[in-house]
Amino acid sequence: MKFQMKKIITLLFIAALSILLSACGSGQETNSSTAESDNVTNEQNETTEAAVESEEPESSTEQAVVQESAIEETTEATTETTEAGSNTLVVYFSNTGNTRAIAESIANGLSADIYEIIAEEPYTEADLDYGDDNSRSTQEMNDPSARPAISGSVEYMEQYDTVYIGYPIWWGEAPRILDTFVESYDFTDKTVIPFCTSASSGVGSSASGLASLAGTGNWLEGQRFSGSESAEEVMEWVNGL
Ligand SMILES: Cc1cc2nc3c(=O)[nH]c(=O)nc-3n(C[C@H](O)[C@H](O)[C@H](O)COP(=O)(O)O)c2cc1C
């Protein structure tokens, strides 16, 4: 009987021990699964961080794109009108650079805004061939009603009280695109100062022709340059006006 009791107690002890051991075993599993989930969380954190990290360059790329488009916009605006705030604007049309050089001398000398008349359809060398009766420039100059389109426009024309307008002489006149320009703006209360460059011709009736097409503005007599004048020579004329 005593022996049997001992046997039962031993069995109970073994049973209790095995329960205890199995409980410990499952506890470890719980711990390891907690550790695993910790890893997942870390992984997730790392992934999130990686995402944030990879988002940063993306967003800075986006910023760069935004900045680039801002620069583009600025460039466009700058091309048309620099130093907003000036009350003098120098407008010019030039294909081979002679009129541009004079316009830049005036604009630099007066710290004025500058605007280039750019044809919507740019003139090619063939277009400018005045030896060819069928070239675009010859055809336009033979047609007083031709009005070549201009790309862009002067921003804030109302802020200027003095406008210089420069162009090359084509067949004794201002190119037709100047007609397009002067007919597009109101020059009321503005002093308009025409200037031109040519191989040898004088201003002729080019300036008065533009004045009557504009219909508004106080137009001064035009001045002809060869295109090779120094900035000092150009400013001498400007300061003498
Ligand atoms: C179509 C065409 C017609 C021209 N006609 C004359 C002209 O009648 N008289 C003249 O002296 N020069 C004439 N030229 C020369 C230009 O007036 C001269 O080269 C001018 O300085 C060009 O200016 P830009 O370089 O600003 O384009 C003509 C040039 C072209 C392209």
Give the closest residue (by CA) to ligand 1 atom 9: 201
Tell me the pLDDT tens digit for each residue of 57-73: 333 333 333 333 332 33
Q: Which residues line ligand 1 (CB under 6 A)?
A: 94-100, 128, 130, 137, 168-172, 197-201, 227
- In the chain, the number of structural domains is 1
Q: Residue 51: pLDDT band by 50, 70, 90 thresholds?
A: very low
Task: Give the residue numbers spanning the domain of 151.
Answer: 86-239
Q: Which atom of ligand 1 is nearest to the CA of 173?
A: 8
Q: Which atom of ligand 1 is nearest to the CA of 167?
A: 26
Whose tokens are 């201002």? That residue is: 174
CA proximity to 94, closest of 113, 125, 120, 118: 118
Tell me the pLDDT tens digit for each residue of 154-186: 999 999 999 999 999 999 999 999 999 999 999
Judged by average pLDDT, the poorest of 20-29, 32-41, 99-108, 204-213 is 32-41
Share of the chain above pLDDT 70, in %: 65
Distance 80 CA to ligand 1 centre (A): 24
CA proximity to 103, closest of 190, 168, 172, 180: 168
In whole angstroms, give the CA distance from residue 202 to residue 172.
Answer: 8
Q: Is the dihedral of CA 124, 125, 131, 132 positive or negative?
A: negative
Whether 10 is covered by a domain: the verdict is no
In whole angstroms, give the CA distance from residue 123 to residue 118.
Answer: 9
Whether 173 is covered by a domain: the verdict is yes
What radius of gyration do the chain's Cα atoms show?
A: 41
Whether 69 is covered by a domain: the verdict is no
Give the closest residue (by CA) to ligand 1 atom 8: 171
Residue 55 is predicted with a pLDDT of 34
Distance 202 CA to ligand 1 centre (A): 11
Judged by average pLDDT, the poorest of 5-9, 38-42, 237-241 is 38-42
Which tops the pLDDT comparison, 44 or 224? Answer: 224
**CATH code of the domain covering residue 184:** 3.40.50.360
Give the closest residue (by CA) to ligand 1 atom 17: 198
